[in-house]
Chains A and B, each alone.
Chain A
Amino acid sequence: MDDATITGADLAHIQGIVSRHSGQKWAMIPLLQEIQNEVGFIPPQSISIIARSLGLFPSQVQGVISFYTQLYTEPRGRKIVRVCRGTACHVRGGKTILKLVKQHLGIEEGETTPDMEYTLETVACIGVCALAPNIVVADQVYGHMNPRKTEALFRDHEQRERYAEPP
């Protein structure tokens, strides 16, 4: 990861969060979630700070972070796009929707757009199969997806990206 993406202010902020849980091993996961919520991700530089404060080894903290797929050590987009790959969505064309989202955003699963706007993920089911196929953008569910609706969702972004490209 690029060191430049984390500022001194972020680190100070993390120090503040960490210091509230000094010595509390049990607090590791809530602590990590809090950092992620505040900073957007868990910067690798913060692992040693967290470990020392909790009385753990840095490798142990890294082990926990890498175990949970919802904890990230790389910066993520402001909006998370979750395309459902559950059975109901699949039957109703979820695979095509995923393909279209990839096209519109120009990224693969797990990646983030260069302007840090969107991060693309797939999920197994979001629990509203009646609306299949579904996608979730920034915690907002969009049901009965089709190519037109998909385009509408990401049109602005796509155009911005296009104009931003060098001639």
Chain B
Amino acid sequence: MGRPTAACPIVKEDAGLQPTITITLDGREVSGQPGMTVLELAEESGVDIPTLCHHPRLPSMGACRVCLVEDERSGSLVASCVAPIAPGMVINTLSDKVLESRRTIVKLMLASHPDACLVCNKGNRCQLRKIASDLDIGAVDLQRIPQLASIVEANPFLERDLSKCILCARCIRACQDLVVEGAIDYFRRGFTTVPTTLGDLPLEESECSFCGTCVALCPTGALMEKEGAYRGTAQTVVQTTCPYCGCGCSMGLEVKDNRVVRVVPGKEDTPNTGTLCIRGSYGCDFVHSPERLFTPWARRDSGLEEVSWDEALHIVASRFKRIKDEYGGDSLAVLGSSRCTNEENYLLQRLARSVLGTDNIDNGGRLYNAASRVGLGSTLGFSGTTNHLSDLEQSDLIFVVGADPGSSAPAVGYAIKRAVKQRGATLLLADPRRIGLALFAHLWLRPTVGTDVALLNGLARVITEEGLVDEEFVGRRTDNLSAYVESLKEYTPDRVEGATGVPALEITTAGRLYARASRAAIVFGTGITQHRGGTDGVRALANLALLTGNIGRRGGGVYALQRENNGQGACDMGMLPGFLPGYHSLADATARRQFEERWGADLPARPGLTALEIMQQAQERNIRGMYIVGENPMVSFPDSSLIGKSLASLEFLVVQDMFLTETARQADVVLPAASFAERDGTFTSFEGTVRKVQKAIDPPGESLPDWEIVLRVAERMGAPMPYSSAQDVLDEIADCCRLPAYSSYEGVDQVDPEARSLDRAESTASRGVGRMHGGQFAEGFARFCPVEYVPPARAQREYPLTLLGGAIPEHFGTGSRSSRSPRLQRFCPEPFVEICEADARELSITEGEKVNLVSAIGRASSVVKVSGSVPEGLLFMPVSFPGTSFSGLLPIVTDPGTGAPSLKACSVRVEKEPGM
């Protein structure tokens, strides 16, 4: 062992515990940790070694041999990316021998690489070309052995030109180790080797999910985005956060001439670790959609017409003022958006409360996450995901229930699959549909739709009956156990089997698996929260986690997936009736006074209406004016015809959006908003971390970022707000919200106090409640909340089938953005309904046929897809297609706990389209 050298500049902070290894690198002594490779140490010490196959986020494999260095003592050449450092090593990275070999290796690659650099779209991004020119290689004096390959890809996203492949296996490792899709691997050997799919099929016929990770990692032009024209090298790459789901993946926007030409995985060390999904990689081209709104519009006799900002703001301010003066502030309502930044939501709720004088404010997140907020709040006293995504990969068991992370939150899906594949974690899945994760599941329970509470209580009963309760944790940290155990009496495995259709044996096995895992995490999504009784489902899950002491531990916890990118942030910012920013209750006079002093205005003291109540009151004409920002209730709310009537009965409706959405068409004034790429701010991911959004390009036409529009409206209404940038707003948020995620946020790199508290809880070896409340639950104890299973309404004879709505990877939200992304739209242009073979036969319908789905309140037409993923009696339909409203089929049934509508399932019948 080499002695640690104190003078060494690169000894890591925590090196005190571990011995360091010193080697001589190009005549200089440098030290590193045991297990480091020569390449890693060289990188750390600022010595540049060229490489093609190595990537810090992939396991090393030494495929390209470009990183060869000379071990002076043995005289041999070693691949530095796989050679571990050893004490006393003497490494030369630039000796004649190294350079000569390196040149030969690169020349050999070039000898079988087409001479097509000038017409290759990879252009200056090609690393092979860069390394060749760095090594002074011009013409290649070796005999050429071209690898002929034809390009056969029909998908709109990427193409493979394997004549340019250098077999570095970055794509293979990305596919198998990062996103764990496993669509490609080496095929054949020797000169004929290619990375390809099973059966050498085109990508669209394979397992490929088009996440684009391999494309971003390919060092040559072998894998490339499909681009109509040569777009050249980006001038800048702006690091920002993905605007689609709640994962909060960092992404880099490659910008040239004020256009986003490409999207690549972000550089920052966020949980997506160099990956993106189909939406992130290819779905952001909605930014340049010709359908964007470029100017404000206002309704005249002949319909919506373009007007100037001045005029539009004048109308908005005067009409709102008039309604407020005539009918009071309570006759106004504001819908904020879980897609806008924290800053924008903060400003909007300030505008609503301090200028419009109403607390009738809500956000679309009500529809998706209210159940988890209330459910977790009432049990754990903490209203969000309890652990970080990186923790999930440390779990020994992951219980996924009512969620299809592969579609709704791909980065979470990747993490789960990595945990299963690479760490051998057990995956317990409860889903009626055969989702992508079913292939990875050790036990897959298939409950009937809407029976989750019975299933979860059944699992809890197995745990309590068999003495698998974590007595110590439950005794020290929780409350109300006996009432809870009492409530579980009824839920014997046999009865639960009767209710859910899951065999009793599987229930017992699942309960034991979950309880016996030393670190077990729960991941749930809209399959729990959007059902009627969603709050109870969440409580049942929290109870399970408490029972087994899986709260506040690394690798444990409860993960509440958020559907929207800023669902968490919008609620944190007080875009909820009755809650000021930071969840300070409006009823709390001290908290209210603080905000009143800060904003210099009186705030309404009575909690306002929730989103659906606002719509109902609009119909009663108690709400007369509405301001909707970045939300599309015509599609996202249930019973769209009713919502349409509500909006039509308003006196004045302002919609602020990027596109003329179904809702915007009903507006009196439409204000053009900027996209995520055109503004600064922050999003809060589902795990509660604040992520930076940076402006990459200028907004098109006269459109403006939402926060600027809100400031202009406030100014016109005679109450200017003292902010000059999004950063000013964030400073105030950090100051007044008292939420650690915001107070600790300092730009890109942040130290999370919650992560530290978790570390502390771990190191003290007590099964504590790290992350939350510095080791203590808010009220000292977490509380078991007994929940009763309410069977779903019996299917009526006219509507014998259950229609389940859910996410698909290609489209998102209400589809207002993803349907305007040309590539996503081309790949998945039509809404479809999945039906199992037996039902299809019975109804004598075939694949590709058009059918009508009829529910008690509406109908929707759709194309049939016969699929093995749904059981008999169940239909599945993606929710994200505007125009074919899934929500139009849903009657309004609200959750008693949250007032949020059920948006997941309804009873339907299938009718053949006449004339077919």
Residues of A whose CB lies within 8 Å of any CB of B are 44, 47-48, 52, 55-60, 62-63, 66-67
Contacts and interface: CB of A to CB of B under 8 A. Distances in A.
Contacts of B187: 62-63, 66
A55 B182 CA distance: 11
A59 B188 contact: no
Interface of B: 176, 182-189, 196-199, 207, 421, 439
B185 A57 contact: yes
A123 B217 CA distance: 40
B189 A59 contact: no
Contacts of A48: 198
B359 to A, nearest CB: 53
Contacts of A62: 185, 187, 198-199
Contacts of A67: 186, 188-189
21 contacts: A47-B198, A52-B439, A55-B421, A56-B182, A57-B176, A57-B182, A57-B183, A57-B207, A58-B182, A59-B185, A59-B196, A60-B182, A62-B185, A62-B199, A63-B186, A63-B187, A66-B186, A66-B188, A66-B189, A67-B186, A67-B189
Contacts of B185: 57, 59-60, 62-63
Contacts of B198: 47-48, 58-59, 62
A71 B183 CA distance: 21
A44 B199 contact: yes
B426 to A, nearest CB: 13
Nearest to B439: A52
A59 B183 contact: yes
A26 B182 CA distance: 19
A44 B201 CA distance: 13
A62 B185 CA distance: 8
Contacts of B199: 44, 62
A81 to B, nearest CB: 24
A63 B196 CA distance: 9
Contacts of A47: 198
A57 B177 CA distance: 11
A119 B439 CA distance: 38
B439 A59 contact: no
Nearest to B187: A66
Most buried by B among A55, A63, A67: A63
In the A-B complex, the 10 residue pairs with the smallest Cβ-Cβ separation, listed nearest first, are: A57-B182, A59-B185, A63-B185, A58-B198, A63-B186, A66-B188, A67-B189, A59-B198, A60-B185, A66-B187
Contacts of A52: 439
A44 B439 CA distance: 19
Nearest to B192: A66
A123 B188 CA distance: 19
A58 B184 CA distance: 9
Nearest to A48: B198
Contacts of A56: 182
Nearest to A59: B185
Contacts of B189: 66-67
A166 to B, nearest CB: 34
A48 B198 CA distance: 9
Contact of B184 (A44, A55, A59, A66): A59
A23 to B, nearest CB: 10
Contacts of A59: 182-185, 196-198, 207
A109 to B, nearest CB: 16
B169 to A, nearest CB: 11
Contacts of B182: 56-60
Nearest to B182: A57
Contact of A60 (B176, B196, B439): B176
Given A59-B183, A59-B185, A59-B197, 12 more contacts: A44-B199, A55-B421, A57-B185, A57-B207, A59-B182, A59-B184, A59-B198, A60-B182, A60-B185, A62-B198, A63-B187, A67-B189
A68 to B, nearest CB: 8
A63 B199 CA distance: 10
